[in-house]
Amino acid sequence: MEFAPLNRLTEAATYGAVTTLILLPPIISFTKDWKFAAEQFVRVLPDKVFVHCSERNESTLTLDGVDVMGERLAVEVLEMIQRKPKLSKISFVSHSVGGLVARYAIGRLYRPPKRENVEDSSTNKCEEDSRGTIGGLEAMNFITVATPHLGSRGNKQVPFLFGVPAFEKAANCVIHLIFRRTGRHLFLNDDDEGKPPLLKRMIEDYGDCYFMSALRTFKRRVAYSNVGYDHIVGWRTSSIRRNSDLPKWEDSLNEKYPHVVHEEHCKANDGEQCEPPSIEDKLEVLSSFFGRINIHISREEVVQQLVESLMDLSLSSSSLIPISTPFKSRTFTHYPNLPTFISKSRNFQSKPLTSRQNRPIRAQSSNGTTANDGFVVDDVPHLTDFLPALPVYFKSDEVRACIVTCGGLCPGINTVIREIVCGLNYMYGVEDILGIQGGYRGFYSKNTIKLTPKVVNDIHKRGGTFLRTSRGGHDTSKIVDNIQDRGINQVYIIGGDGTQKGAALISKEVEKRGLQVSVAGIPKTIDNDIAVIDKSFGFDTAVEEAQRAINAAHVEVESVENGVGIVKLMGRYSGFIAMYATLASRDVDCCLIPESPFYLEGRGGLFEFVEERLKENGHMVIVLAEGAGQDYVSQDLHPADEKDASGNRLLLDVGLWLSHKIKEHFTDVKKMAINMKYIDPTYMIRAIPSNASDNVYCTLLAHSAVHGAMAGYTGFTVGPVNSRHAYIPISHVTETQNTVKLTDRMWARLLASTNQPSFLDRGKAIPENVDQELLKA
Ligand SMILES: Nc1ncnc2c1ncn2[C@@H]1O[C@H](COP(=O)(O)OP(=O)(O)OP(=O)(O)O)[C@@H](O)[C@H]1O
Ligand SMILES: O=P(O)(O)OC[C@H]1O[C@](O)(CO)[C@@H](O)[C@@H]1O
Ligand SMILES: [Mg+2]
């Protein structure tokens, strides 16, 4: 049973290497018994974890013996790894006898480190990169829950035998009748051709089974054991301490997991023990390889803890590794004669792009020097950590790149164009770069222009797009024909959600035709409605420019009696610009966005609020996102449901509508003269050049795209995910839209800042269009 990663990113997740997690069931149980835990892992670690519930050893097959099951599991894992070539790490979580099976299987799957001199003798320390692998994957977590590591024989390991010697002896004699070969293994009375019992063999590397080397390979090993109520597997055998006393309840660890009564870190983890264990220590030697956690029931807590411990390690070493498809015919690993790029830039003369020696990155002072407190700020993995000899896929003189811009304008487009051109040219020596004019349709209906650093040198100082843009006109097959005809092998596509959908289709078609073309998307939108990435470029500039309009409205209305200012900002489906502009300004009394339905009349309505503010201050300012209240407006205006060339719904002018409504209400109903100032700066805020921080951001995006394409990746979009620049499969960013979450803190902050009504009141005049779900909430 396989649980695929979810398509949604959680806050903590970064795109990167995918960890596979193998779940193993206990004796006489079923694959589906792991369903609950599997779902939790996938829910909490979407996109990072691929959960595989082992299915070759369920039901009565679990009686066939630990070795037989281990062999089956090893084959199952290898087959899965073959099916999923993107997996790079592996963890095991097993319950009961599943833990023994997993220990056997990893002994079979262990691959020793490739490098010779694996141990640094001067420090006598196990180096991370000297670790072996499990079936070629990096070993992360090895977790057992109630696994009888020490077997079930003697020493009150099976609680229901009450430690009575006669019962234990009897059990020893009959166990194989019930649990067959597995029973013999558990009671250590197996005798394969005079060999020691299997569980004893498994505490060292034995023959071609590298049991202990494999275990040592895992970054974290944890044994969970239940201190009570587990009548089959006592805590003595599952926590691997035979002689220690039962931990005291007052050892209770923390408030979060009150049922954890004892936690002990393994010595091997602390670096104290890296030597192979001595066989003389027999079973107890295992304890130095496991941290053990003794708990007192609660299934959910165990699962929660497991999830958290997995998160720790899976998050620590990912991000910034492309997971989109490299070209099939020339992958990194099968490309021996890689062209070594030597930068043409003076500053980087003779430095291969791939060198990255000075890790970890240390704290830097503002003048760029390393802070001498030695505090490590971050150790961001680099592509070269995963692909040590990161090749440049394309030879400079073989590259024919093109850039296209589509959709609405956005501050910073020209900076991205400039930096793609300069990045390709200065860093990689690429000279053949074409500009596709007028959006997607330009591929087949317009001539291209040649782009050089000189041509684009100054364009970042201008708003708009140097290449011009359009909506509609996306014809995948004509576009790809054109790419093919012109011999283009790198396509840089700058645009919003619609554009990225188009880019995904182009990328698929390119793949279908087997073309060696890299398709890279750079997400653009002032609306900030593109999912997955932290923020889109141009957004900050737009928010800043909106301040001027808000300020103007405020100056106007505070200079007259009963002044009401309305400022309409962009934001079709997402009210980010309006929300941030409001928060930044402090002159705004009320912010209306598409995600938060509002109503005008009655208690808690907008009219009541306007009246209050006018009485209090003599003036007020409303900021409105263009998509706000569209359903409400359409009740009055009866729209013709028009769409633009790309199929986007054309919006009704909510700003104009609202200014009429407010004027009408105060003049006709309240008999009160008001001074209405309606400002629509929508195009003004997106037609300007980007500000300083957006300029820097655009540069990072452009360079990321260039590096990704030059490295031979395709079908990706660039963007920061949790502040780390990542390559994201294009289809991931188009699956959903980023919208303001009314339950998020930022919206709560806005409500606290403006003290406006939430419009969630069950007031008498709530119109039908107010979201009923929201009201219930
Ligand atoms: N689902 C789609 N499949 C293929 N192409 C699409 C799709 N949606 C839009 N496009 C194409 O992408 C281009 C831009 O789309 P659109 O006008 O929706 O702007 P956008 O990229 O979403 O930017 P923004 O909305 O921020 O202005 C157009 O040429 C359009 O034909
Ligand atoms: O009028 P146009 O150019 O079609 O663009 C308007 C739309 O473009 C956007 O700015 C998105 O780019 C929206 O906020 C707005 O609704
Ligand atoms: Mg769009």
- Non-local CB neighbours of 276 within 8 Å, separated by 6+ positions: 204, 205, 212, 213
**Fold exhibited by the domain 396-536+690-734:** Rossmann fold (3.40.50)
Catalytic residues, by residue number, are 527
* Ligand 1 pocket check for 525: Cβ under 6 Å: yes
Residue 279 is predicted with a pLDDT of 34
How far is the centre of ligand 3, averaged over its atoms, from the C-alpha of 529 (Å)? 8
What pLDDT does 293 receive?
Answer: 60
Residue pair 33/102 in contact (Cβ under 8 Å)? The answer is no
Q: Which residue owns the Cα nearest ligand 2 atom 3?
A: 408
775 Cβ contact partners less than 8 Å away, ≥ 6 residues apart: 760, 762, 766
pLDDT of residue 295: 58
Q: Provide CATH code, domain 19-113+131-255+299-307.
A: 3.40.50.1820
- Give the model confidence (pLDDT) of 308-342 as tens digits: 655 544 333 222 222 233 332 222 222 222 222 22
Closest Cα to atom 27 of ligand 1: 408
pLDDT of the residue at 145: 80
**Neighbour-count burial of 71, counting CB atoms closer than 10 A to its CB (0-12 exposed, 13-18 middle, 19+ buried):** middle
Cα(496) to centroid(ligand 3), Å: 5
Tell me the pLDDT band of 158, cut-offs 50, 70 and 90: low
Percent over 70 (pLDDT), the chain? 67
Check pocket membership of 538 for ligand 1, CB cut-off 6 A: no
Q: Extract the annotated binding site for Mg(2+).
A: 497
Residue intervals of the chain classified under CATH 3.40.50.450 are: 396-536+690-734
Q: In which band, very low, low, confident or very high, does the pLDDT at 581 lie, cut at 50, 70 and 90? A: very high
How much distance in Å is there from the Cα of 519 to the middle of ligand 3?
19
CA angle, residues 531, 17, 697, in degrees to nearest 5: 45
Q: Does any ligand 1 atom lie closer than 6 A to the CB of residue 406?
A: yes
pLDDT digits (tens, 9 = 90+) for 588-602: 999 999 999 999 999
With 0-12 / 13-18 / 19 or more C-beta atoms within 10 angstroms meaning exposed / middle / buried, residue 611 is middle
Architecture of domain 540-686+742-754 in this structure: 3-Layer(aba) Sandwich (3.40)
Q: Are strands 590-592 and 619-625 parallel, antiparallel or unpaired?
A: parallel
Asked whether residue 227 carries a pLDDT value surpassing 70, the answer given is no
Asked if residues 621 and 565 have their Cβ atoms less than 8 Å apart, the reply is yes
pLDDT for res 110? 93
pLDDT (mean) for 223-250: 56
Q: Report which protein residue has its CA nearest ligand 1's atom 18.
A: 498
Read off the pLDDT band of 69 (50, 70, 90).
Answer: very high
Q: Which of 12-16, 153-157, 245-249, 328-332 has the highest mean pLDDT?
A: 153-157
- Residues in CB range of 187: below 8 A, 6 or more apart: 151, 152, 153, 171, 172, 175, 176
Per-residue confidence (pLDDT) for residue 21, from 0 to 100: 67
**pLDDT value for 147:** 83
Each residue's pLDDT tens digit, 649-663: 999 999 999 999 999
pLDDT score of 232:
65
Per the annotation, where are the binding residues?
408, 471-472, 496-499, 525-527, 570-572, 626, 683-686
Q: Is 627 in the pocket of ligand 1 (CB under 6 A)?
A: no
Question: For position 777, what pLDDT does the model report?
Answer: 44
Query: Closest-lying ligand to the alpha carbon of 411?
Result: 2
By most ligand atoms within 8 Å of CB, the mutation choice from 527, 537, 577, 579 for ligand 2 is 527
CA of 645 to the centre of ligand 2 (A): 12
- Give the pLDDT score at 125: 41
On whether ipTM exceeds 0.95, the answer is yes
Cα-to-centroid distance, 495 and ligand 2 (Å): 12
* pTM metric for this prediction: 0.59
Dist. CA 642 → ligand 2 center (Å)? 14
Q: 716 is written with which tokens?
A: 């990706």
Say how many Å lie between the CA of residue 408 and the centre of ligand 2.
Answer: 5
Mean pLDDT calculated for residue range 274-303: 51
Nearest atom of ligand 1 to the alpha carbon of 472: 31
Which residues neighbour 184 within 8 Å (Cβ) at sequence distance 6 or greater? 65, 175, 176, 190
Which residue's CA is the closest to the ligand 2 atom numbered 5? Answer: 408
Residue pair 456/504 in contact (Cβ under 8 Å)? The answer is no
Q: What is the pLDDT of residue 289?
A: 57
Q: Where in the chain is the domain with CATH 3.40.50.1820?
A: 19-113+131-255+299-307
- Ligand 2 atom 4: the closest Cα is on which residue? 408
Q: Are 401 and 490 in contact (CB under 8 A)?
A: yes
301 to 264, 295, 297: CA distances (angstroms): 18, 9, 8
Q: Which atom of ligand 1 is nearest to the CA of 644?
A: 17
229/45 Cα distance (integer angstroms)? 31
Overall average pLDDT of the 614-618 stretch: 96
The pLDDT of residue 320: 26
Mean predicted confidence (pLDDT) in 8-33: 50
Q: Which one of 406, 643, 739 would you pick to mutate in the ligand 1 pocket, going by the greatest count of ligand atoms within 8 A of its CB? A: 406
Which residue has its alpha carbon closest to ligand 2 atom 10? Answer: 408
Q: Which residues contact 218 (CB under 8 A, 6 or more apart)?
A: 91, 139, 140, 141, 142
% of residues, the chain, pLDDT over 90:
45
pLDDT tier at 168 (50, 70, 90 boundaries)?
confident
Model confidence pLDDT, tens digit, residues 497-513: 999 999 999 999 999 99
pLDDT at 55 over 70: yes
Assess whether the previous peptide bond of 360 is cis (omega < 30° from 0).
yes
The predicted pLDDT at position 159 comes to 64
Q: Which residues contact ligand 2 via a Cβ below 6 A?
A: 407-408, 496, 525-527, 570-572, 626, 644, 686
Look at the block and give the residue holding tokens 């007052």: 250
Give the three-class secondary structure for 378. strand
Residues 6+ apart with CB under 8 A from 687: 409, 411, 463, 464
For residues 210-245, b (16+ Cβ closer than 10 Å) or e, as one string? bbbbbbbbbbbbbbbbbbeebebbbbbbbbbbeeee
For residue range 433-468, list pLDDT tens digits in order.
999 999 999 999 999 999 999 999 999 999 999 999
* Closest ligand to residue 737's CA: 3
pLDDT tier, 160 (very low <50, low <70, confident <90, very high otherwise) = low
Q: In this model, does residue 270 exceed pLDDT 50?
A: no
Q: How confident is the model at residue 46 (pLDDT cuts 50, 70, 90)?
A: low
Q: How many residues does the chain have?
A: 777
Both tokens assigned to 257: 């997991």
* 648 in contact with ligand 1, CB cutoff 6 A: yes
Give ranges for CATH 3.40.50.460 in the chain: 540-686+742-754
Residues making up the annotated binding site for substrate are: 525-527, 570-572, 626, 683-686
| Distance of alpha carbon 182 from the chain centroid | 41
pLDDT given at position 712:
87
- State residue 563's pLDDT score: 98
Give the burial string for 364-373 (b: 16+ CB within 10 Å, else e).
Answer: eeeeeeeeee
Ligand index nearest the alpha carbon of residue 625: 2
Average pLDDT for 249-253: 38
Determine the distance separating the centroid of ligand 1 and the alpha carbon of 546, expressed in angstroms. 25
401: CA distance to ligand 3 center in Å? 25
Give the atom of ligand 1 at the shortest distance from the alpha carbon of 497: 22
Q: What is the distance between the alpha carbons of residues 676 and 62, in angstroms, rounded to a whole number?
A: 78
Q: Which residue has the higher pLDDT, 34 or 242?
A: 34
The predicted model gives 684-704 an average pLDDT of: 97
Any atom of ligand 1 within 6 Å of the Cβ of 521: no
Average pLDDT score over the chain: 77
Q: Residues 168-197: what's their mean pLDDT?
A: 79
Pocket test of ligand 1: the residue of 409, 441, 444, 499 to mutate, having most ligand atoms within 8 Å of its CB, is 499
Which pLDDT does position 713 carry in this prediction?
87
User: Contact at 8 Å (CB) between 488 and 400?
Assistant: yes
Binding site for ATP: what residues are annotated? 408, 471-472, 496-499
Which pLDDT belongs to residue 434?
98
Q: Between 533 and 150, name the one with better pLDDT.
A: 533
pLDDT tens digits, residue range 718-755? 999 888 888 888 988 998 999 999 988 999 999 999 99
| 716-721 vs 291-295, strand pairing mode | unpaired
Q: Which of 529, 646, 686 to mutate to test the pocket of ligand 1 (most atoms within 8 A of CB)?
A: 646
pLDDT tens by residue, 90-137:
888 888 888 899 999 999 999 988 654 444 444 444 444 467 899 888
Ligand 2 atom at minimal distance to the Cα of residue 524: 12
